[in-house]
Structure 1
Amino acid sequence: MHEVIASPQEEKFVVARPGARAGMQIPGVMYQELSEAVAGKWPVPAWLVEQARKAWGVDLGGQRSDRAVLVRPITGSGYSRATWELNKGCNFSCEMCYLPERKFQGLPLEEKHRLLTILRDAGVLWLQFTGGEPMIDPDFRAVYEHAYSMGTLIEVLTNGSRLHRPDMLELFMAMPPHKVTVSLYGASPDTFDSLTRTKGAFKRVKNGLVAAKEAGVAVDLTLIVTKHNVHEVEAMRTMADEFAVAWKEFGSISPTYTGDPDPLSAQAPGYLDKSAVFAGCPAGHTFFHVDPHGFATMCKIGRERPINLMVEGLAGLTRLPAVADAQMLRTGGCTGCALSGTCRVCRPMAKAYQTAEAPLDTYCQHGDKESAE
């Protein structure tokens, strides 16, 4: 199995190692040298031996390039990242979920493998597995192994309920993911289980975090802050410091992507993130989202005019930039807004809030007291 991956990334070339956060950018001539070394079954070039030792502490000296390096081809596509809902089904029932429905449906394994080939041929190097809960999909292991073998850097976005299982830990130790990101919903069984509406959820997730740490599987944590767990934020931060290599807080609860307002009732006062100005997004241009049935959209929220990759293949993606640009146009109540230069949400998200008839102060500066005065 490969030690490192060399890949085009938009107009650049990178070398990355599965499981490592750090990578390196190389010129085209070095990418070509690696391609030729792999094709000729020559030793790993001296420059890569030296840099791999410095960056990752791994010794590639004396190894054949075709065994140590996986070279991904130049595709002519500008895509480098994608997210994929393996399945919308979930073993939790969180009240603030952005999915309108959590139906357990998706492609058969053979078609999942074909979809992965399409993603690779589109140039996708970084692929996030999400859901629902991706690790409960019966094909998760087979799909993960297939994506890894194709030279994909995988992030698993999970609720952590299956992370304690030996088969999952063995998989991640043998084929290191780029990231495992676990959502944390509380710091006690009562709060966690109540918020997820799942008995025993906290125990399973806590066991998973302990097991991952002991196994050397690095975990990121996202602390989901709602009005039901805000009293445990400090305790959640303590857990994050103990178990995570990196963590962040997320308190901006949104409607479902179809505009259902129900999740908004979980918003914790004071935890709506209003700090970052929306400065553009590559969704639909260098990044896209795929649902469980193989339909591609610009992102998880902007799902208008989906493209059926299982029917159209790579050709369908040529239409996605125009689809994305159309969804980014300011329409409806946002047309001609004088505050658009400092807006904090993208247009697809604003549309979801507007459809939900959400209070302006949950997404728009016109609802802020300072802006209104």
Structure 2
Amino acid sequence: MSAHSLIASPFLGEYLLLHPGDARGVKIKAHHYIELQQATAARDRLPGWLCNVAYARWGLSLTDATADESLLIRAPSPYGHGRASYEVNNGCNWGCDHCVYGRKRHEGLAWPAREKLLHILRDAGVLWIELGGGECTIDRHFPETYALAYDLGMMVEVLTNGSTLARPRMLDLLTTRRPYRITMSVYGATETTWDAFTNRRGSFRAFLRGLHAAHEAGLPISLSVVITGKNAHEAAGMRDLAKRHASRVREYTHMSPTFAGEHEPLAQQAPEYLHNRTPFTGCDAGHTSLNVSPFGLATVCKVSRDHPIPLLKEGVAGLSRLGGIADQALQRHSGCTGCTLQKSCTTCMPLVTLYRKANAPRDRYCQWS
């Protein structure tokens, strides 16, 4: 098992010092990064300044530790992809009607190919990785996938419905190798509404068991309140539930087509929760971040999936094309070309394309409606 207490890593032109299991990082100078490289190679004691920083930021006492025992050095990468989302397996044990994954098939890579994929992502410079699905924790190779991502020096976030978090083996995995965040969604305030939302009897109780187990284990929890026509009547109760159990709470009210452009999730929209969103001013997806499908296909993001790059075939070098694909995907086209409201548009072009493919009402994505 990896025993590193700290990670020193290049990240988007800077250098970070990180403690696994904690989202708070510390920027360090390039010469400090080099000093830590040398100390690790020579198996020297950690520098005094590092011990002071580790104690002040994370309460870690490392005065007597050697660098090779407690510090993992991430090598620089010429590709600069600092973040990635990896869809471990799109299969799920729940059946939510709003789900953007549509047909949730239980399929993914065998372990040898998955192991190769994670090394490719490490070599691409990925420092922060999101493991999701589907419900990633029910994947047969999730424990190995999670452990290897952690041991390669990635800061791991797990997107889960919480249904497996109370299992002893899962708790042992997540408390031994701590994620910096576990993100779950809130689908109701009562058992009746929750189970109807997921189309699975017992899902509310499974969520609560997982939530309480994670909370008691001191794991970092983030909750997303998802409001649709099925549960809008319990919105206040859902917010209260989330705020009682997590310091980080987000709210999602806009339903989108599936990533394949199917319209079914749009029917779940609660019309009274269609609010004005902030203008889309661009993003760096495809340049500094990427999405990876269950079969190792790299795309700009979860929404923009055209021209996928087969990482297992092309290796990390294939990612050199991703920035150009992203730039092309964000260009306005069709009815958006020359629109005078582009500067205040709230929807990126890849998402507009999905809405159009799903024949969505224009007011869902366009100000001209």
Sort the TM-score into its range (normalised by shorter chain).
over 0.9
Separation in 1, partners of 2:102, 2:233: 27
Identical pairs, percent:
42
Find the partner of 1:7 among 9, 12, 24.
9
Per-residue deviation, 1:7: 0.4
Match of 2:37? 35
TM-score of the two chains, using structure 2 as the length reference:
0.98
Matched-pair contact (CA < 8 Å) for 1:164–1:205: no
Find the partner of 1:304 among 299, 303, 306.
306
Task: Report the residue type matching 1:72 in the other structure.
Answer: R
User: Structure 1 residues 273 and 179, CA, compared in 2 at 3 Å: closer, same or farther?
Assistant: farther
Does residue 83 of the first structure (1) align with residue 85 of the second (2)? yes
Per-residue deviation, 1:273: 4.3
Does residue 153 of the first structure (1) align with residue 155 of the second (2)? yes
Q: Structure 1: where are the runs of 5+ without partners?
A: 368-373
Deviations 1:58-103 (A, max 9, x none): 1111100011110000111111000000001011111011113211
Matched-pair contact (CA < 8 Å) for 2:223–2:248: yes
Matched-pair contact (CA < 8 Å) for 1:10–1:77: no
Q: Which moved more, 1:116-125 or 1:141-150?
A: 141-150
Per-residue deviation, 1:346: 0.8
Does residue 212 of the first structure (1) align with residue 214 of the second (2)? yes
Separation in 1, partners of 2:273, 2:9: 39
Find the partner of 1:164 among 153, 163, 166.
166
Match of 2:285? 283
Q: CA RMSD in A?
A: 0.9
Separation in 2, partners of 1:283, 1:274: 23
Match of 2:252? 250
Match of 2:201? 199
Matched-pair contact (CA < 8 Å) for 2:79–2:319: no
Separation in 1, partners of 2:126, 2:275: 30
Task: Report the residue type matching 2:220 in the other structure.
Answer: A
Separation in 1, partners of 2:201, 2:45: 54
Task: Report the residue type matching 1:314 in the other structure.
Answer: V
Number of residues paired by the alignment?
367
Deviations 1:247-278 (A, max 9, x none): 11101110112221110010112323423111
Separation in 1, partners of 2:153, 2:273: 38
Find the partner of 1:190 among 184, 192, 195.
192
Q: Which moved more, 1:270-279 or 1:180-189?
A: 270-279
Separation in 2, partners of 1:150, 1:273: 41
Separation in 2, partners of 1:52, 1:26: 12
Matched-pair contact (CA < 8 Å) for 1:285–1:321: yes
Separation in 1, partners of 2:274, 2:43: 54
TM-score of the two chains, using structure 1 as the length reference:
0.97
Matched-pair contact (CA < 8 Å) for 1:257–1:349: no
Matched-pair contact (CA < 8 Å) for 1:179–1:220: yes
Separation in 1, partners of 2:318, 2:178: 31
Separation in 1, partners of 2:119, 2:23: 24
Separation in 2, partners of 1:37, 1:292: 38
Separation in 1, partners of 2:124, 2:23: 23
Does residue 264 of the first structure (1) align with residue 266 of the second (2)? yes
Q: Structure 2: where are the runs of 5+ without partners?
A: none
Task: Report the residue type matching 2:363 in the other structure.
Answer: D
Separation in 1, partners of 2:83, 2:275: 25
Separation in 2, partners of 1:72, 1:270: 48
Separation in 2, partners of 1:272, 1:83: 27
Task: Report the residue type matching 1:39 in the other structure.
Answer: A
Separation in 1, partners of 2:26, 2:203: 39
Task: Report the residue type matching 2:328 in the other structure.
Answer: A
Matched-pair contact (CA < 8 Å) for 1:157–1:181: yes
Find the partner of 2:116 among 114, 117, 133.
114
Matches within 5 A, 1:52-131: 52-131=54-133
What secondary structure does 1:155 align onto?
A: strand
Per-residue deviation, 1:47: 0.8
Separation in 1, partners of 2:55, 2:274: 43
Runs of 4+ in 1 over 2 A off after TM superposition: 272-275
